[in-house]
Amino acid sequence: MSEGGGHAGDSSAAARPGYERALERACTWLAIGGGFVMLAFTAVSVGSIISRSLFGAPLVGDFELTERGTAIAVFAMLPYCHLRGGNVVVDMFVGMFPPPLRRALAVLSDVLFTIVAGLMTWRLAVGGIGQYQFNDMSMMLQIPTWSMFVPVVFSMGMLTLVCIARVARGGREFA
């Protein structure tokens, strides 16, 4: 603990620009929300298994909730994962390069990831609008399909912002 009563890493966090701290907080809360979604659909799955075992019938629509919950939870955790540099990286040969070249490759990969994340955000938004216009519903529970696109598009927008912030940091993850 530092003299101010906080953790030793707090001083470096305070030295970062406000937008980085706000982005980090938003990504953290989004990931926590994704964790709660995961817990909820896990409870539904357990409830369905118990219902199948005791009453011979699963909960109606359990698979619909599980598939939607999984998508929402995974997308909610992507921004935090990338913010922390937690994505899988294959760097078998990059480690042999000098640091300036490694940094340039990191920035290039973040630029490319920014483009991909931005395109995915855009296309998911277009897909969600299409689902809304066609009034598509899930088969069993009649849940509007477009509704799951809202948190997914938000999460992808956050991932795009994280990618932009990493490019601005020169390819370094937030510590």
* Residue boundaries of the structural domains of the chain: 10-168
- Residue whose tokens read 């406000």: 18
Q: Could you report the per-residue pLDDT of 152-173, keeping only the tens digit for each?
A: 999 999 999 999 999 998 866 6
Q: Is the pLDDT of residue 103 over 80?
A: yes
Provide CB contacts within 8 A for 117, sequence distance 6+.
156, 159, 160, 163
| Cα 11 from Cα 162, distance rounded (Å) | 21
Contact present, 151 and 75 (Cβ < 8 Å): yes
Encoded tokens for 49: 């298994």
The identity of residue 31, as a single letter, is A
**What's at 115, amino acid-wise?**
I
pLDDT band per the 50, 70, 90 thresholds, residue 37: very high
Length of the chain: 175
pLDDT at 1: 37
Q: 0.75 exceeded by the pTM?
A: yes
| Statement: residue 132 has pLDDT above 80 | yes
